[in-house]
């Protein structure tokens, strides 16, 4: 449950996904999810975090670009920093006390299954997404968190579906992604506990399908079943836009 609490604690900071923070004070400590990438002009491998900071360390330099990790880290002025983008961006040399790789998911391009026994999310508030508006900060991956109830011995996995809509891609302005939870394993108890998961969802095929011009903006919504409700719930829209806007 801690990682789900963490996920919602950084939602308010997601505005930084499309900007870059300047240097802060002489030290900081925080936890965040980071996207691993490489600056090809310097060869430096670093993480772009959800707090807007760029960080690196000996551990991060050994990680595979294109992966996502949850970090707990700190920085002091004595640790130093590197600079990329002709010196415009600061990459802090941090000390990381823990890191966990975040799993990835794809969006299936067809209708969601119509199983009558849908496994629901715990509540409408136990879902949130952080969008990569222009697809440039996290390479068109969005961070998605969701909560559910589970018994000991069971494993829950999420799948995402977005079939082509009736309108042509040039006129479409909205796409709905259906979430389906599936359960495996054998319950070892009758008691349910609240659990959660965070994944990185590949949204590149949605962009390729619908962002057809430099002025195009798509409203992306998620739809899922919720505990205690018969009809699926649809979220407010998250935007996806062309970088050339």
Q: What is the pLDDT of residues 133-142, one digit of tens each?
A: 999 999 999 9
Q: What φ, ψ does residue 127 adopt, rounded to 5°? A: -140, 140
Segment 126-137 mean pLDDT: 91
What's the rounded Cα separation, in Å, for the pair 9 and 39?
28
Q: Are residues 241 and 211 in contact, defined by beta-carbon separation less than 8 angstroms?
A: yes
Residue range(s) of every CATH 2.60.40 domain in the chain: 109-241
Closest CA to 14 of 29, 33, 1, 27: 33
Q: What is the mean pLDDT of residues 55-77?
A: 95
CA separation for the pair 97, 82 (Å, rounded): 20
Question: What contacts 155, CB < 8 A, 6 or more positions away?
Answer: 183, 184, 185
The answer to whether domain 109-241 has CATH 2.60.40 is yes
**With bands split at pLDDT 50, 70 and 90, how would you rate the model's confidence at 3?**
very low
Evaluate if residue 88 carries a pLDDT over 60. Answer: yes
User: Quick one: what percent of the chain has pLDDT higher than 70?
Assistant: 86
Specify the 3-state DSSP secondary structure of 4: helix
Spatial neighbors of 227 by CB under 8 A, at least 6 apart, are 120, 121, 122, 123, 149
CATH class of 2-102: mainly beta
**Gyration radius of the chain over CA positions:** 19
CA–CA dist 196, 90 (Å, integer): 33
Pick the more confident residue, 22 or 87: 87
- This prediction has a pTM of 0.86
How far apart CA 211 and CA 203 sit, in angstroms, is 11
141-200 pLDDT tens trace: 999 999 998 888 888 899 999 987 665 566 788 999 999 998 888 888 888 888 889 999
Q: Is the pLDDT at 1 greater than 90, yes or no?
A: no
Q: Is the pLDDT of residue 53 over 70?
A: yes
The SS3 assignment for 2 reads: helix
> How confident is the model at residue 194, as a pLDDT?
86
Question: From CA 18, how far away is CA 15, in angstroms rounded?
Answer: 7
What's the mean pLDDT when you consider all of the chain?
85
In the structure, what pLDDT confidence band is assigned to residue 76 with cuts at 50, 70 and 90?
Answer: very high
Report which of residues 14 and 75 the model is more confident about. 75
Question: Pairing relation of β-strands 192-202 and 95-108?
Answer: parallel
| Share above pLDDT 90 across residues of the chain, in percent, rounded to a whole number | 52
pLDDT at 15 over 70: no
How much is the pLDDT for 221? Answer: 97
Q: Where in the chain is the domain with CATH 2.40.50?
A: 2-102
Q: Give the CA count within 13 Å in the CB-facing half-sphere of 84.
A: 20
CB contact at 8 A, 148 and 119: yes
- Cα dist from 96 to 32, 47, 99, 160, 191, whole Å: 11, 12, 7, 32, 36
Q: If 0-12 CB within 10 Å is exposed, 13-18 middle and 19+ buried, where does residue 223 land?
A: middle
């Amino acid at each position: 449950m801690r990682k789900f609490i963490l996920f919602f604690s950084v939602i308010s900071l997601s505005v930084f996904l499309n900007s870059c923070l300047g240097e802060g004070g002489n030290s900081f400590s925080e936890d965040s999810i980071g996207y691993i990438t490489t600056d090809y002009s310097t060869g430096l491998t670093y993480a772009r975090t959800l707090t807007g900071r760029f960080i690196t360390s000996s551990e991060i330099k050994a990680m595979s670009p294109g992966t996502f990790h949850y970090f707990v880290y700190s920085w002091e002025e004595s640790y130093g920093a590197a600079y990329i983008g002709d010196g415009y961006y600061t990459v802090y040399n941090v000390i990381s006390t823990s890191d966990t790789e975040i799993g990835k998911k794809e969006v299936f391009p067809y209708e969601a299954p119509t199983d009558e026994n849908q496994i629901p999310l715990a509540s409408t508030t136990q879902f949130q997404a952080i969008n990569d508006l222009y697809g440039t900060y996290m390479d068109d991956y969005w961070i998605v968190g969701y909560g559910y109830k589970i018994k000991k011995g069971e494993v829950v996995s999420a799948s995402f579906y977005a079939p082509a809509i009736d309108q042509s891609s040039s006129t479409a302005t909205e796409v709905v992604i259906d979430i389906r939870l599936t359960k495996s394993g054998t319950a070892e108890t009758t008691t349910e506990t609240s659990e959660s998961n965070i994944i990185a969802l590949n949204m590149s095929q949605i962009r390729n399908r619908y962002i057809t011009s430099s002025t195009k903006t798509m409203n992306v919504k998620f739809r899922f079943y919720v505990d205690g409700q018969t009809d699926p719930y649809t979220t407010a829209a998250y935007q996806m836009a062309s970088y050339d806007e």
